[in-house]
């Protein structure tokens, strides 16, 4: 890396300058460094970004603790005497922090410095199309990659600021459980945290202006929502929060529902009302980089209006998953290092909601597939017809496969135990353009829940057994002994 000093400022000339040390930025910086490319990485906060510190990692650690509490309650169904678990929330909090601490060294300044990445712990700001200032340094790179993540959208609810609220940035600081947690937003994050806190002993009420799990197939979303409601979580759909106020016991929400006005009191309020890419303070106007309502404006190759500047991960305002951020990083790295054209294909990026049961999907849903291809085949198979699901008492679930002409797999949604793990196979199949025949030919170990998908695929071929032409061929072949 070329470094020059004019007596006043130090100017760095790396090949790539990455702004943001979250999942997307770290993946790109590590990949470029592995090829010996000079990289500057700028991060103003904690390395690892939202995923490590306030998102994926702590939320899944909390969910794991809640799952164990739930298993104790359900143990009697398996002939094991247990009872109501004793929840030590301070130890739950310590468990969450220990998981973060165990992973943090992988994302640390020291590790990336050892890779050869120049890490600058400061705020970055564009001063023109080709220059970024950070920590008293001037960076003029061949390419810039913005990977600044996202933050919770705070809705304009009267009284909300005075009432007080939690977001993912503050929720995991709690060392005492909320008595009654109110959650605004019934998307994946809201429902994951709702169920976790319910299993850890809190009352929970979720409010959403639209349909809960609105991004998922309604048929399979219903399986998840029925379970959550069965565990005692109150879910208000199509309910508008009109006002919030602070009370002696916590917070009060005034809501308008389909059945009339409702007042809901809780001890704490969590916002999971969507996320917007972080763009403030970056000086994007000076760089001729445009911004949309959701984040930075990019094309299919993740370039901004400034051809030397890319935006990836949550900052790009599209898919907001850690694995999508890593996917973005690989695409941009390929284009920058090898000059190979790279275009984002959202159809191959899976998604998963880590409730119990889980819901996971990849590819096209039924409605979108019908819009694109008109004629599609819908295959279903219930968990209740699977031997492993029966053994685990996890029979509440369903796989739904959308197939096109000649059995091409267009999309898969799974609601049930292990859905997030099972979707991997289908993600690979769709990414490689495979069809139902490839799944039919695979052998799944018995007894596993993976067999559920194969049974659905076999059902696609069952009508062939009744076709007169097929039976005629078999009769002919039988004559030969």
Residues in the annotated binding site: 60, 148-150, 185-192, 274, 314
Q: Residue 404 phi/psi, 5° resolution?
A: -105, -155
Tell me the Cα Rg of the chain: 25
Q: Report the alpha-carbon distance of residue 193 to residue 235 in Å, rounded.
A: 13
Task: Give the other-Cβ count within 10 Å of 225's Cβ.
Answer: 24
Which residues are part of a known binding site for FAD? 60, 148-150, 314
Query: Is the distance from CB of 332 to CB of 302 less than 8 angstroms?
Result: yes
Query: Is the distance from CB of 42 to CB of 148 less than 8 angstroms?
Result: no
Which residues are part of a known binding site for NAD(+)? 185-192, 274
Rounded to the nearest 5 degrees, what angle is found at the Cα of 46, between the Cα atoms of 289 and 325? Answer: 50
277 contacts: CB under 8 Å, gap ≥ 6:
148, 149, 150, 294, 295, 296, 311, 314, 315, 316, 317
17 contacts: CB under 8 Å, gap ≥ 6:
39, 40, 41, 42, 132, 139, 141, 143, 144, 145
Query: Is the distance from CB of 70 to CB of 49 less than 8 angstroms?
Result: no
Query: Is the distance from CB of 29 to CB of 41 less than 8 angstroms?
Result: yes
Q: Report the alpha-carbon distance of residue 66 to residue 234 in Å, rounded.
A: 18
For strands 180-184 and 268-271, give the pairing.
parallel
How many CA within 13 A on the CB side of residue 465?
Answer: 5
């Amino acid at each position: 890396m070329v470094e020059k000093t004019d007596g006043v400022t130090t100017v760095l000339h790396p090949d790539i300058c990455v702004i943001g040390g979250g999942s997307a930025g770290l993946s790109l910086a590590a990949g470029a460094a592995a090829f010996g490319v000079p990289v500057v990485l700028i991060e103003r906060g904690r390395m690892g970004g939202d995923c490590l510190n306030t998102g994926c990692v702590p939320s899944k650690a909390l969910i794991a603790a809640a799952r164990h509490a739930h298993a104790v309650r359900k143990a009697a169904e398996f002939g094991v005497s247990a009872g109501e678990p004793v929840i030590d929330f301070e130890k739950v909090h310590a468990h969450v922090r220990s998981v973060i601490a165990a992973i943090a060294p992988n994302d640390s300044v020291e590790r990336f410095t050892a890779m050869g990445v120049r890490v600058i712990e400061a705020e970055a700001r564009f001063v023109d199309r080709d220059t970024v200032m950070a920590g008293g340094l001037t960076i003029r790179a061949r390419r810039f990659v913005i990977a600044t993540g996202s933050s919770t959208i705070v809705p304009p609810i009267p009284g909300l600021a005075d009432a007080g609220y939690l977001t993912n940035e503050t929720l995991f600081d709690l060392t005492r459980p909320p008595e009654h947690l109110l959650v605004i937003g019934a998307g994946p994050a809201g429902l994951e945290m709702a169920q976790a806190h319910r299993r850890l002993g809190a009352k929970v009420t979720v409010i959403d202006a639209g349909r809960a799990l609105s991004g998922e197939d309604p048929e399979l979303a219903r399986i998840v929502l029925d379970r959550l409601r069965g565990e005692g979580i109150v879910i208000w759909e199509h309910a508008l929060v009109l006002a919030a106020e602070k009370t002696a016991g916590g917070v009060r929400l005034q809501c308008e529902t389909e059945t009339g006005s409702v007042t809901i009191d809780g001890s704490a309020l969590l916002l999971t009302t969507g996320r917007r890419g972080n763009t403030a303070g970056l000086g994007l106007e000076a760089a001729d980089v445009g911004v949309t309502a959701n984040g930075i404006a990019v094309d299919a190759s993740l370039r901004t209006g400034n051809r030397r500047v890319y935006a990836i991960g949550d900052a790009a305002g599209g898919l907001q998953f850690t694995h999508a951020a890593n996917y973005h990083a690989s695409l941009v790295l390929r284009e920058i290092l090898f000059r190979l054209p790279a275009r984002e294909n959202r159809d191959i990026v899976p998604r998963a909601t880590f409730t119990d049961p889980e819901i996971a999907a990849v590819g096209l849903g039924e409605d979108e597939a019908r819009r694109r291809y008109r004629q599609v085949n819908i295959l279903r198979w219930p968990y209740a017809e699977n031997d492993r699901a029966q053994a685990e008492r996890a029979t509440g679930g369903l796989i739904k496969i959308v197939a096109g002409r000649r059995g091409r797999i267009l999309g898969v949604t799974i609601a049930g135990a292990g859905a997030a793990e099972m979707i991997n196979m289908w993600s690979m199949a769709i990414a490689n353009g495979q069809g139902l025949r490839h799944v039919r030919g695979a052998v799944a170990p018995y007894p596993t829940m993976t067999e559920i998908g194969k049974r659905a695929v076999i059902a696609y071929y069952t009508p062939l057994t009744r076709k007169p032409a097929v039976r005629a061929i078999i009769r002919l072949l039988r004559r030969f002994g």
